[in-house]
Structure 1
Amino acid sequence: MAVAMLVDALLGWPSGLFLRIGHPVTWLGRLIDALDARWNRTVDAPWLRQAAGGAAALIVITLAAALAWAVQSAIAPSWRGVILLGMFGWPFVALRSLHDHVAAVAHPLRSGDVASARSAVSMIVGRDPHQLDEAGIARAAIESLAENASDGVVAPIFWGAILGLPGIVGYKAVNTLDSMIGHRTERHQSFGWAAARIDDLANVIPARLTALLFTLLAPRPGDAMSCMAKDARKHRSINAGWPEAAMAGALGVRLCGPRVYHGSVAEEPWLNGNAADPVADDVVRGLKLYVRSLAALAGLLVILAFV
């Protein structure tokens, strides 16, 4: 997993490679789309759609993990094998991609180019970017950084460290299922129920581990820990509130709060509500905390490997 993190930090997923072969997550996405189109029938009763969605989730996760297990079983247990397995795990770590997407918001926001910042933030959040002022853009970027640090980096690394290549690939299947069908929409309320619950369970420990990394490496660890303990459970997500609250306390800003999705206002509670709104420099400080936290995680993995 340390090898996978290092390779992704250096290379990301090159655009030329994506144009040639796509990405493993897009391959999983095509399978999920096919099952959704075939099995998620609006004429079926809700319980039947729940059962079909559960079966689809198990098929995708089992197939992904089984293929990864077959690859891992074919590689001899040696340091050369460790490096090779790290290369196979590399596509499932979104370390550099997340950093680059959030940095693409921070840079124009710092220069006063709000329109470009809105365009960049629309790539990483689902809320209506046209409704966001400068503080709203900064909040959205920091929240996305905190939540996706857990979902996109720490969680796959955690499961990979425990279960090897099947762990990181299987987790990515879980996360992709949730992002595609785990929504509370009319179409996916029933069909995506199992995918959403499995994703919740898979992220219980990683979300809290991410929050712990943020608090320990924050400029003011006490403030981050206090905010996390006080506000994490206020979030509508049982997991996302932990890294977001820790990040809010670490940066000394308020996050979450009301936001607009598709013309409707979602009345979300504030995290660290007595603090000031974030500005562009706070997004940059959040990125620095993100880098320190993941460097510490990689270092810990190396120590564990040798111990």
Structure 2
Amino acid sequence: MKRVNAGAGMVAAMMLVALALDVAIGWPDALYRRLGHPVTWMGALIKWLDTRLNTGPRAARLTKGALTVLVLITTTGLLATAAQLLLPAGPWGIILGGVLAWPFLALRSMYDHVAAVAGPLNAGDLPAARHAVSMIVGRDPAQLDTAGVARAATESLAENTSDGIIAPLFWGLVAGLPGLVIYKAINTMDSMIGHRSERFEAFGKVAARLDDLVNLIPARLTGALFALASGSDLPRAWRVMRRDAGAHRSPNAGWPEGAMAGALGIRLSGPRLYAEGRAEEPWMNADAPDPTPQTLTAALTLYRRAMALVVLALGLLILF
């Protein structure tokens, strides 16, 4: 069988197949019950390493956290490289590569999770909306009013469009399946151990800094994509993003959040309540009004337009 060295056109076609599968069926519950999910497999390995290595003084934890990063990147990278090298040439290679890439893109689940908040919020069912938003953010839902729920869901949509879709696509286009899978491993490590807590401040430091690094370009691309998808509101989205992104607590999240705040004419970020206390954060688009149930619906519309632009860009890569 002829093997393939995946070029840009083939990788773009694989990503398009993966997106199509994700939009069409997501990750079915039956498949999850039977096999789990590649990200949960990564999570199990991270948890195993955390349990065994995250001990001792700070310097030791920092070193063993770096070792954890190395183990995850090496393991996932080697497996993904082997899978890519075994892909056959031609359409079957594209289809099989797309199937392998499919679990690492979250276009449908991102939309579904936010739509699950928007539905009850627009119906005036605040308790149901609070429950739905608790599935996607770490804030204390009991403390959120209607505007707070809409703000949390909108911010999650903006930030996770970068982490869950644009960044894996970007690294997939740069480095094929290994780039896609290694990115997801880094992002999963950050979500599990990249916290500023007593347990993880040292052990997860390398993972957190590496996650910041690999998201630098994708976050800015996501912000530009939201601005472009906003149509006539592009100048305002671009202006708010450029002005306010640098004030965000994250070096990356401010770009998609700022663009979305400008595109929708609302303010985002700002103070928020977590279980451990109140976090004082600057606003994105501070002079604008708070989000509403209607602007959350508009955010989902903006998201769909942005994803249509992504599909168009992949199609152009395949053609040219």
| TM range, smaller chain | over 0.9
Superposition map of 1:3-22 within 5 A: 3-22=17-36
* C-alpha distance in 2 between matches for 1:288 and 1:13: 22
Aligned twin of 1:146: 158
1:128–1:263: 8 Å Cα contact kept in structure 2? no
Aligned twin of 1:266: 279
Q: Does 1:157 align with 2:169?
A: yes
Aligned twin of 2:313: 300
Q: Which amino acid aligns with 1:36?
A: D
Q: Which amino acid aligns with 1:27?
A: W
Residue aligned with 1:260, SS: strand
Deviation of the 1:306 alpha carbon: 2.1
Q: Which amino acid aligns with 2:254?
A: G
Deviation of the 1:84 alpha carbon: 1.1
Aligned twin of 1:172: 184
Q: When the two structures are superposed, what TM-score results if normalisation uses the length of structure 1?
A: 0.98
Superposition map of 1:160-239 within 5 A: 160-219=172-231, 220-239=233-252
* C-alpha distance in 2 between matches for 1:111 and 1:295: 28
Aligned twin of 1:137: 149
* C-alpha distance in 1 between matches for 2:301 and 2:24: 17
* C-alpha distance in 2 between matches for 1:305 and 1:73: 20
Deviation of the 1:263 alpha carbon: 4.5
Gap runs ≥5 in structure 1: none
Task: Give the RMSD, CA atoms, in angstroms.
Answer: 0.8
Aligned twin of 1:33: 47
Deviation of the 1:145 alpha carbon: 0.1
Aligned twin of 2:107: 95
How many pairs does the alignment contain?
A: 305
Deviation of the 1:303 alpha carbon: 1.1
* C-alpha distance in 1 between matches for 2:198 and 2:135: 24
Residue aligned with 1:265, SS: strand
Deviation of the 1:298 alpha carbon: 1.6
- Per-residue CA deviations over 1:157-189 (Å, capped at 9, x if unaligned) read 110111111111111100000000000000000
Aligned twin of 2:85: 73
Deviation of the 1:212 alpha carbon: 0.4
- Per-residue CA deviations over 1:42-61 (Å, capped at 9, x if unaligned) read xx221111010001011101
1:260–1:266: 8 Å Cα contact kept in structure 2? yes
Gap runs ≥5 in structure 2: 1-14
* C-alpha distance in 1 between matches for 2:313 and 2:17: 13
Deviation of the 1:5 alpha carbon: 1.0
* C-alpha distance in 2 between matches for 1:241 and 1:265: 19
1:181–1:192: 8 Å Cα contact kept in structure 2? yes
Q: Does 1:283 align with 2:285?
A: no
Residue aligned with 1:190, SS: coil
Q: Which amino acid aligns with 1:40?
A: N
* C-alpha distance in 2 between matches for 1:70 and 1:304: 25
Kindly report structure 1 stretches of 4+ aligned residues shifted beyond 4 Å: none
Q: Aligned pair in 2 of structure 1 residues 184, 263: CA closer, same or farther (>3 Å)? A: closer
Q: Does 1:249 align with 2:262?
A: yes
Residue aligned with 1:130, SS: helix
Q: Which amino acid aligns with 1:248?
A: A
Residue aligned with 2:23, SS: helix
Q: Which amino acid aligns with 1:262?
A: A
Q: Does 1:112 align with 2:133?
A: no
Deviation of the 1:77 alpha carbon: 2.6
Q: Does 1:59 align with 2:71?
A: yes
* C-alpha distance in 2 between matches for 1:62 and 1:299: 33
Q: Aligned pair in 2 of structure 1 residues 57, 230: CA closer, same or farther (>3 Å)? A: same
* C-alpha distance in 1 between matches for 2:276 and 2:54: 27
- Per-residue CA deviations over 1:229-252 (Å, capped at 9, x if unaligned) read 110111000000000000000000
